[in-house]
Structure 1
């Protein structure tokens, strides 16, 4: 239920008190916002309180009720409904009031039932007028917003449209454009909140744009500062969306609405530089843009290769250092945000490719986790974008290491089986590397890691174990045993046997026979 404000004016305190007590204002949709005792005081209170309805006595000192109505209607534009109070002997006043458009009156002494019935009719009329006025305002608002949008798109304005914008433009000394962009998931809600905050604000218009963006066109008086309604609206938007990635940028001032296109273009420029801001919780001004220009000719090849090199080596520490270095370099050189995004996306795609070679499932999981397809249109300051790359890289290296570990477990088992079958032969890491397509140095490290002993130790262990078996079960000479287990030089066999068995081959034989 709508509620309207009513102001009561009468020079008799008892009459004022009676109107407040005898009439159930709240039930019929009114709240008493104030009381006055004469026409002069009434004019001041109407301007200050802006009531929807004024109930006034006719005979009052200093200025009577009808004079007050006449002055108000002549000098002020705020629409106010008036009801006059008069007795039967003052009916001629009611007739005079008709000339001022006042066609409602209450007879003294007031009878509450009759007064409430009359006031209830006035309430319904006020509701209808408000709804009609609201519809007209919405229609006018949409027309103005549409004309502003034409200017932003550099479309020609006809004479009528230019006249409308010039009329609106005269309401304020200066105008500006605030560009707002956020993530697709939160755009609709943010736009709705902004529209609600702008509702019924004067000289402020919400303009729908593309790519999860909208604009707020606002007029103001230079020097208004933080007292301007836009500052309050911005602060409220920031409060409601604390922690959400939102970019807001204001362009250069325009003297008229017909120049708002310049404000829009400069707001777009400021929005680009917002990428290098330290956070999301403040509006970026076009005036803040440094005289340094964005660097659109950055050579990214060496940087990308360096970062990708740390990933192929599975070196998380080096990767972190490379990302930190890149971030410093981007900021110092003021590299254009779209180039930084391309670098980041390229590196993340490469990480996905590396992972896909070993596990397509894990690659898809990483792709889903970091929403790579929508990254180019996302709202990120540079620090957060680099943190995203850092997180993706660390996760990717971790997954690659896990997958490599899983795969290497199988290959080591296969290599160990080969060694057990061929340890009697002249076997080397180089030969194994050729057989299993692995670099000998890496193969040696892998066997050491998985077996706990080196390749050479493993071969000697196998040979001596076999030598022990042969010495125990046959009458072969020591030199023949050495040759059978793979030693071409008896001295080497003797040395390795003593190391492992803590005795010579002959001493071992004596313990057996």
Structure 2
């Protein structure tokens, strides 16, 4: 009497994409994925031959990757071929089937197992259960029995793969976010310490940041490829951590231990050459200098950003850029060109162009070739220039000053400062766009009227609307009277009374309730305004 037992845990692999139906089963398997691998182990050659021909392995989505005549050979083959499933006799010389499972369970690779066994008693069952056995089949086997056993273990493999791929995807996203936050200094001290410990970055670690301009490949697939690359010399001891760096850009943090290779240009060039074939479209790499220790992470990130400015002109734009110390000379260009064009983009209302220009400015800032105080002063000067233009075009100087100063962030945290400046200048550009070509007056008044219609039930003043629209209240009052033909207060009363007339006609609400509903806290004032505009009191109007 023989027994088949199923045991073990499948190794995690990539997620399922397109599916086919497993022969004789309701479970789905990936039609285009590499077939599952099965390994045979038995000390009788006739048994090995019988296994090969008992079922249609290809139809069951398996390919035979090896055969062993004893447990010792089987253990070696498991390490070299890494099968998804091992089918083994329990009685073999040197290492028997149960011992083979036990040793494999202690390794970093654990395939599923189907075991042929002559032990059908309770004691054997207990030993088998110790290793996670989940099924028993008696021998002599026929095609149906083996097929059913294979379907059971295959279903387990695919389910475990799918669950593992979800865990891997979540883990990869969490690690990418961790690396990004470390590089950009967007974490608390506790998060920082935890992240450094997780990534194994010590004060002796050598670091280099590489940014990639272009579409990012699938994260899990890229991780598998990068891991395989790390087995090659001289990249063997380098750890590579992917991270995201905004739209159309991602990157890698390269970490080398103290005794590992230097992250110099020669090694980085070799690494980029290995990486480039993994992309389906051309990409541009930009790399920082080598640094040491976690305190230099932000510097490495900023240098990689600055290295993008070295991108050559012409078709393809080059293939890689490396940060150079002499990039400091780029700071001299900033006041002369980018400052002028930056102000021009804001005052001409070119929001899209402005975003690109701000990116160029902060790339230069990120190269750490200017002090934080210089950067803060430069941006304050730009805002001062804009305030003069806003005032000249009727804007409320005090409102914009209150909005811009003091700055919420400083150059000590450039990523946050960049986002703040982009929000502020884009808002200003939109304001200037509304003021262009003489259209500001109509648009400002239209915006004021729209605000009244949405807030007439509240206690409303011209100053409230002017503050909302970032304009001077006196200027708004003048524009309103010119556009509408009457003062703001006259328009507000007329609008409220028209809304009150609707309520008088359509509801049974009392006069005081209607007065309150349309924004009057005093019913007598409401009645007086109503009679002044309509010639009758609200109560007479309601009865008419």
TM-score when scaled to structure 1? 0.49
Q: Point out which structure has higher relative CO (alpha carbons under 8 A, 6+ apart).
A: 2
User: Of the two, which has the highest radius of gyration?
Assistant: 1
Structure (1 or 2) with the greater helix fraction:
1
TM-score (norm 2): 0.47
